[in-house]
Amino acid sequence: MSPNDQITTRHTNGEHVALVKQAQQAVCTTFDNMGSATPVPVRQAHHLTGLTPAAVESIEAQRERALAHLRRQSEPLNKYVFLSNLRNTNEICPLIYTPTVGTACLEYSNVYPFLAASGTPDGLFLRAEDLPNLGQILDNYRAALPDDPQICVITDGSRILGLGDLGVNGMGIPVGKLQLYVAAAGLDPRRVLPICLDLGTNTQRYLDDALYMGVRHKRPEDDQFYPIVAEVLASLNRRFPRMLIQFEDFSSEHAFELLDRHRNQYLSFNDDIQGTGAVVLSGFINAIEQVGRPISEHRVLFFGAGSAGVGVAKQLAEHFRAAGGLSEEEAKRRFWLVDSKGLITLDRGDRLAAHKVYFARDDNEGQQYRTLNEVIEAVKPTALVGLSSQPNVFTGEVIARMAELNRNPIIFPLSNPAVNAECDFATAMEHSEYRVIFASGTAFPPYTVPETGELRVPGQGNNMYIFPGLGLGAVLAQPSRITDSMIYESARALAGALTDEERGQGDLYPRIQRIRAVSAQVAAATIRCAVNEELATSEEVKAVVAAGDEALLDYVRSHMWEPVYSGPQCTGDASPAVKATTASPTTTTTSYHI
Ligand SMILES: NC(=O)C1=CN([C@@H]2O[C@H](COP(=O)(O)OP(=O)(O)OC[C@H]3O[C@@H](n4cnc5c(N)ncnc54)[C@H](O)[C@@H]3O)[C@@H](O)[C@H]2O)C=CC1
Ligand SMILES: CC(=O)C(=O)O
Ligand SMILES: [Mg+2]
């Protein structure tokens, strides 16, 4: 007797319809849906026979078709909408990230209904009014998942990339970051939690926009803001005590304070301050090696002194101390930070935000420097780092001057998305006689040197090289907190992850195609550090670290989720429960059929 017959004989017609629907939906939920790869017995068991064409495909064939369709779309936003739907119906989709995620955030309210066409929620949208029911809301969300989430990325949308306060439209960023966790470090897509804390927006055009989907009022003052965030974090921690919390794209005024308040309370880190600090340090380590001058001779000029600028400067200063043999005071004096009012000095006459005070200069002898050109002439930097969101401020003239001052000027225009970058790769190459050492936040196309035909590939200094591995390491080691040493070790691991070939070609970062292997190395370094600092609570991980570096790397790799079709669904089991499969000879993996 077929399953269909069983239903018909035992139930009335109405019950039959309901049961068929239930059985069909059981294989149509996001995480169990195999689409055109659903085997014939499963189609029969779930009453899907005749509802799809006959072909039973492999995951490779599905991937090929999706890729071809993606490439046929000419508009980046259409690509994003397609990928978003693909993600919501089939958790195999790779990168949905900068630059398109920037456009997608700007348009989020306009395209949201199409993104959510599958009915799968993007994540949690939390409002201040929800606080009394937060426990219930988390329970509701948890009910749709097979297990507790391991990582959440939370934003309040107040500083999305370099695009400003986008309110609820910022949800695209936690979603995109968590997609990278899945693609780059093999986090299980069913165990990640994007959160938009929708407390309003100060952007008038959204408040006036009839189609804006967020809470329609201004943001709360600090005396309300901090208690709200504290309550949300406490609820998250009560419900999911082992979950790592990643703060993302909070405005700089709040980013530092939130990190200070909560970093020792919960397993958490701030991606813009610490993740960016680590990724830029990593590229800098490799850049300094190429330049061939000792660390102590470098003079670094930061254009932009927000969460990213100050976070990166602090991370580099730590390296100047640890690897350059400088005292804290000597290290600090190798850095000059510029904000919208010019070089940050103690006697500039304005009240400096707390995060700017550490690097404020006191050696300017009463003189203030307002423009970038003035500061360059005063400082004569070896490196120029852009984290200002001001497009094209590193003009041809600025780059030419840097190339006069240095045989190999280090120029990192790191603002996102690409339209906000302080310069593009072609400008940097053409005005430096191709001598620039370059990395940008969003990838620029390679450049062909006209005279020689040599193809030069620019580096991408984006925290996506750090946070996936750092997060995976934290999930596996379960330390009580993320320390500065773990961040520093993640940066060193990334710097050391270049292959000889990549190093030989002058790359600062590993090729993106190797991101999984690289994330495994970053995760291993994080775990090793957590164990050495006696903060790791996983006994399994402690034993693996004791067994040596190869064992640790194997362990990390074996815990990276892979999309594979296997398990009971393939045999027609009428209730397609998700089961783990063994992908490595040594350990049980967290790979599941989807
Ligand atoms: N590549 C990467 O991995 C990352 C890049 N970013 C990018 O860094 C940028 C900055 O991020 P945050 O520091 O969080 O933002 P922020 O808005 O807090 O900081 C911007 C800084 O630039 C300064 N600035 C603005 N206009 C200026 C002008 N005309 N001249 C000189 N300085 C000016 C501001 O005074 C402020 O200090 C964003 O574009 C963001 O997307 C941020 C994190 C990671
Ligand atoms: C990359 C990133 O985190 C940002 O631009 O904010
Ligand atoms: Mg960010």
Task: Tell me, yes or no, whether 528 and 542 share the same domain.
Answer: yes
pLDDT band at 14 (very low <50, low <70, confident <90, very high): low
Report the distance separating Cα 490 and Cα 477, nearest Å. 14
Q: Is any ligand 1 atom within 6 A of the Cβ of residue 369?
A: no
* Catalytic pick among 79, 80, 177, 314: 177
| End position of a domain, from candidates 266, 297, 317 | 266
Query: Are 580 and 555 a contacting pair, CB within 8 Å?
Result: no
- Confidence (pLDDT) at 87: 62
- Confidence (pLDDT) at 525: 98
pLDDT band at 167 (very low <50, low <70, confident <90, very high): very high
Mean pLDDT within 146-165 = 96
Which phi and psi angles does 506 have, rounded to 5°? 80, 15
Least confident piece of the model among 2-11, 367-376, 518-527 = 2-11
Query: Are 399 and 428 a contacting pair, CB within 8 Å?
Result: yes
Catalytic residue flag (residue 488): no
Report the distance separating Cα 409 and Cα 397, nearest Å. 13
Q: What is the CATH number of the domain that holds 117?
A: 3.40.50.10380
Asked if the ipTM is above 0.90, the reply is: yes
Q: Is any ligand 1 atom within 6 A of the Cβ of residue 313?
A: no
| More confident call, 90 vs 345 | 345
Does 554 carry a binding-site annotation?
A: no
Six token digits for residue 97: 């990230």
Which of 96, 42, 46, 45 has its CA nearest to residue 66? Answer: 96
Does 33 carry a binding-site annotation?
A: no
Distances (CA, A) of 341 to 252, 336, 348, 583: 16, 13, 9, 56
Question: 375-404: per-residue pLDDT in tens?
Answer: 999 999 999 999 999 999 999 999 999 999
pLDDT band at 575 (very low <50, low <70, confident <90, very high): very low
Which phi and psi angles does 479 have, rounded to 5°? -70, 165
| End position of a domain, from candidates 428, 460, 492 | 460
- Confidence (pLDDT) at 97: 63
Long-range contacts of 527-532 (CB under 8 A, 24+ apart): 527/473, 527/476, 527/477, 527/552, 527/556, 528/489, 528/552, 529/483, 529/485, 529/486, 529/489, 530/473, 530/474, 530/477, 530/479, 530/486, 531/477
Task: Tell me, yes or no, whether 234 and 351 share the same domain.
Answer: no
Query: What is the domain extent for residue 472?
Result: 466-558
Task: Tell me, yes or no, whether 262 and 154 share the same domain.
Answer: yes
User: What's the CA dihedral at 27, 29, 32, 36 to 10 degrees?
Assistant: 60
pLDDT band at 140 (very low <50, low <70, confident <90, very high): confident
Mean pLDDT within 409-438 = 97
Long-range contacts of 77-81 (CB under 8 A, 24+ apart): 77/103, 77/104, 77/107, 77/111, 80/104, 80/111, 81/111, 81/114, 81/115
% pLDDT > 90, the chain: 70
| End position of a domain, from candidates 206, 236, 266 | 266
Question: Is pLDDT at 104 greater than 90 in this prediction?
Answer: no
- Alpha carbon 424 to chain centroid distance? 22
Question: Is pLDDT at 259 greater than 80 in this prediction?
Answer: yes
Residue 383, SS3? Answer: strand
pLDDT band at 578 (very low <50, low <70, confident <90, very high): very low
Residue 275 Cα: closest atom of ligand 2: 3
Task: Give all strands of the β-sheet with 342-343 in edge-to-edge order.
Answer: 342-343, 335-339, 300-303, 383-386, 410-413, 437-440, 459-460
- Confidence (pLDDT) at 50: 60
% pLDDT > 70, the chain: 82
* 56 CA → ligand 3 middle, Å: 41
Average pLDDT along the chain: 86
* 362 CA → ligand 1 middle, Å: 23
Report the distance separating Cα 513 and Cα 95, nearest Å. 11
Task: Tell me, yes or no, whether 224 and 96 share the same domain.
Answer: yes
Task: Tell me, yes or no, whether 383 and 531 share the same domain.
Answer: no
Concatenate the DSSP letters of all residues of 225-246 into one string: HHHHHHHHHHHHHHH-TT-EEE
Task: Tell me, yes or no, whether 348 and 493 share the same domain.
Answer: no
Task: Tell me, yes or no, whether 181 and 89 share the same domain.
Answer: yes
Number of other CB atoms surrounding residue 168 within 10 Å: 26
Q: Which residues of 73-88 are buried (b: 16+ CB within 10 A; e: fewer)?
A: eeeeeebbbbbbbbbb
Task: Tell me, yes or no, whether 483 and 504 share the same domain.
Answer: yes
Report the distance separating Cα 363 and Cα 367, nearest Å. 9
User: What's the CA dihedral at 114, 119, 121, 125 to 10 degrees?
Assistant: 70
Determine whether 444 is exposed, middle or buried from the number of CB atoms within 10 Å of its CB (0-12, 13-18, 19+): buried
Pocket test for ligand 1, best of 203, 348, 387 (most atoms within 8 A of CB): 387
* 159 CA → ligand 2 middle, Å: 9
Task: Tell me, yes or no, whether 168 and 223 share the same domain.
Answer: yes
Task: Tell me, yes or no, whether 192 and 292 share the same domain.
Answer: no
Task: Tell me, yes or no, whether 204 and 72 share the same domain.
Answer: yes
If one counts the domains in the chain, the total is 4
Task: Tell me, yes or no, whether 43 and 65 share the same domain.
Answer: no
Does 78 carry a binding-site annotation?
A: no
